[in-house]
Amino acid sequence: MDNIRFLLVIAFAMVSYMLWEQWQIDYGPKPVVATLEQPVVMDSGEDLPRTGKNNSAISSAGQNLGAVPVLGIHADNIITIKTDVFSVEVDTKGGTIRNLDLLQYPHEKINTVVNKMYALVGLEPPKKDFSPIRLLDSSTEKLFLAQSGLIASSGSVAGPDHHAFYTAEKQKYELTEGQNTLSVPLTWTNNQGLVVTKVFTFTRGSYDIAVDQKISNDSNQNWMGRQYSQLLRIPYVDDKGNTFIRTYAGGVVYTEEEKYQKIKYNDMEDENLSISTVGGWSAMIQHYFATAWVPAADQENHFYTKKLKDSHYVIGSYSPAVDVAPHTDKIFTAHLFAGPKIQPMMEKVAKGLELTVDYGWLTVVGKPIYWLLNQIHDHVGNWGFAIMGVTLCIKLLFFKLSQASYRSMAKMRKIQPRLKALQEKFADDRQRFNTEMMAMYKKEKVNPMGGCLPIIVQIPVFISLYWVLIETVEIRQADFILWVQDLSAQDPFFILPILMGISMKIQQSLNPAPIDPLQAKVMKMFPIIFTVFFLFFPSGLVLYWVCNNTLSILQQWYITKQIEAEK
């Protein structure tokens, strides 16, 4: 029983190692896909959605490729769009969003304190990448496209899919001062009475892009077809990500029946997804950012995935077929969310979209913690102090449990010299030592498990807080004080990790040391080992541990003094 604490620590270390290995398998860097010298060209119909019992293509876009431009602008032109949050490029071939930059989210930021330190020693500060995060990307090595189009049903003339050529009124659009929305129309026609107008609508301050496809049937025949929207990308690799922090990057689908489902690239390779639900959405997510197609919520949508050649993956949905009578119009609607995973903002776009901020099976605990973090930030205006406030609130919540744990450890610490004497007295009789030790525990009313059980109860909350701090995009590049100017990056001077190691050492000194000398030596190494690990952790996470350890030390020191003062 005297070894129970040491065994728990060893078990925790083993579980942590196994989790780390599994993380590397699931979320670690994937083999780099060979870079192609030429843009990828899909076979006609290969990347289109399929339906029906035989999983056949709904239609082929090949006959659309020769459509005559309406307004005379060359079909290969790229339309550029700029708003207060976006810089976007739309290809007139298919009306595909090929590049999308998040203007308010640069890759890196300046740390003024670090720059001053370099200046003091006469060195140039390290170069930073201030370019905005490119979420959608047309480059072959980071290919990620948002595609949409129409597929005609059997018996109807072909509609424009993402291989068809559209025309535009202008090549440049910009959201001007005082303008709240910006509309970008593209037009396609088969010159036989069928006209399709695809309109992208951007709203100031919003990462939600409305995409409407209006079908004007001026022919003398009915047209029947459906809308589809999909994301095509190669596996995402975060080149500048933290080696010690692995988050999920891949496909996601939300349905009313199954709720939030991760669709990994391996899953797409094994089989094609094919499910239907009312509403729902499909997405590709990565650390801090998400891109999601949200079809109309009041219709039954079919969601699908496809594995294409050269490690290209597709996830998307298509609507039910709609009949457009002659000389009538029909508008298909969808929304493309492309931006940071800010939960209150995502909740307004689609039901369940905020779940892309992934807390795993601890979501039920993580969401209240995130809410508390936001509430405190609204009052203090600093994410670092908000983290400290959440830490204090959690310590107060578990005050009684912690108190029971610390009292148990304090009693163990008090009888430690007597246990040591027993061990020396019965060094050659292990069974007699255990019997006498249990008798001492009973006489002194000491429960060896009393210090561990309250800690085990709190573990889910601590793990949830860890994921909240890792997943919260608001903490990305957020200032704290002095040299800590990015809570999502490691401490540039390693001050917080060193403080964490010192606090862990102090806390360890307040706990009863293992009787076994070898175990005691191993335990003494833990503060050093954890300090080395925490050198590379985000400073916001390290700040939490420093605060938590400091509050624990104060509480444990007070209780230990009380127990030692008792007779």
Residues 463 and 490 in one domain: yes
Residue 116 covered by a domain: yes
Q: 18 lies in a domain?
A: no
Phi, psi (rounded to 5 degrees) for 516: -70, 125
Shared domain for 64 and 153, answered yes or no, is: yes
- Under a CB-based contact definition with an 8 Å cutoff, are residues 166 and 95 in contact? yes
Look at residue 352 in the predicted model and tell me its pLDDT.
92
Nearest to 200 by CA among 272, 92, 127: 92
- What is the average per-residue pLDDT within 307-319? 92
pLDDT band at 449 (very low <50, low <70, confident <90, very high): low
CB 289 within 8 A of CB 341: yes
Residues 331 and 379 in one domain: no
Q: ∠ CA 342-343-347 to the nearest 5 degrees?
A: 125
Whether 346 and 410 share a structural domain: no
Which of 330, 356, 382 finishes a domain?
356
CB atoms within 10 A of CB 221: 15
| Pair 346, 376 in one domain | no
Among the candidates 290, 325, 356, a domain finishes at 356
pLDDT in tens, 483-503: 999 998 888 899 999 999 999
Using CA atoms, how far apart are residues 66 and 74, in angstroms rounded to an integer?
13
Q: Is the pLDDT of residue 262 over 70?
A: yes
pLDDT for 365-392, tens place per residue? 889 999 999 999 999 999 999 999 999 9
Query: Computed from CA positions of residues 68, 74, 78, 84, in that sequence, does the dihedral angle turn out positive or negative?
Result: negative
Look at residue 220 and tell me if it is in a domain: yes
- The answer to whether position 15 is within a domain reads no
3-state SS, residue 470:
helix
Largest CA distance in the chain: 104
Residues 159, 102 share a domain: yes
Structure tokens at 131: 């370019």
At residue 360, the pLDDT reads 78
Task: Give domain status of residue 523, yes or no.
Answer: yes
Q: Are residues 333 and 379 in the same domain?
A: no
Host domain of residue 416? 4-10+366-565
**Residue 16 lies inside a defined structural domain of this protein:** no
Residue 152 shares a structural domain with residue 105: yes
Three-state SS at 386: helix
Decide which of 520 and 124 is more confident. Answer: 124
- Of 338, 356, 374, at which residue does a domain stop? 356
**Could you give the CA distance from residue 484 to residue 167 in angstroms, rounded to a whole number?**
50
Assess whether pLDDT exceeds 60 at residue 8: no
3-state class of 219 per DSSP? coil
Q: What is the C-alpha R_g of the chain?
A: 30
The predicted-structure confidence for 48-68, as pLDDT tens digits, reads as follows 786 554 344 444 433 333 333
Using one digit for the tens of pLDDT, what is the confidence trace for 320-343?
999 999 999 999 999 999 999 999
Residues 292 and 178 occupy one common structural domain: yes
Structure tokens at 140: 């072959």
The answer to whether 274 and 302 are in contact (CB under 8 A) is yes
Identify which of 198, 201, 173 has the alpha carbon closest to the alpha carbon of residue 187. Answer: 198
* Alpha carbons 154 and 175: distance in angstroms, whole number: 41
Mean pLDDT, the chain, integer: 81
| AA identity, residue 413 | R
Crossing angle of helices 399-414 and 453-471, rounded to 10°: 130
Amino acid at 482: L
CATH of the domain at 326: 2.70.98.90
- Residue 344 CA to residue 331 CA, distance in Å, equals 29
pLDDT band at 513 (very low <50, low <70, confident <90, very high): low
Pairing of strands 172-174, 78-82: parallel
- Together in a domain, 344 and 472: no
Same domain for 554 and 407: yes
- Neighbouring C-beta atoms of residue 42, cutoff 10 Å: 16
Q: Is the pLDDT higher at 256 or at 42?
A: 256
pLDDT category at 563 given cuts 50, 70, 90 is low
Which is more confidently placed, 357 or 408? 357
Q: Which two tokens stand for residue 459?
A: 């573990």
d(CA 228, CA 331): 13
Roughly how many angstroms between the first and final C-alpha of the chain, as a whole number? 24
How many independent structural domains does the chain possess? 2
**Do 371 and 328 belong together in one domain?**
no
pTM of whole model > 0.75? yes
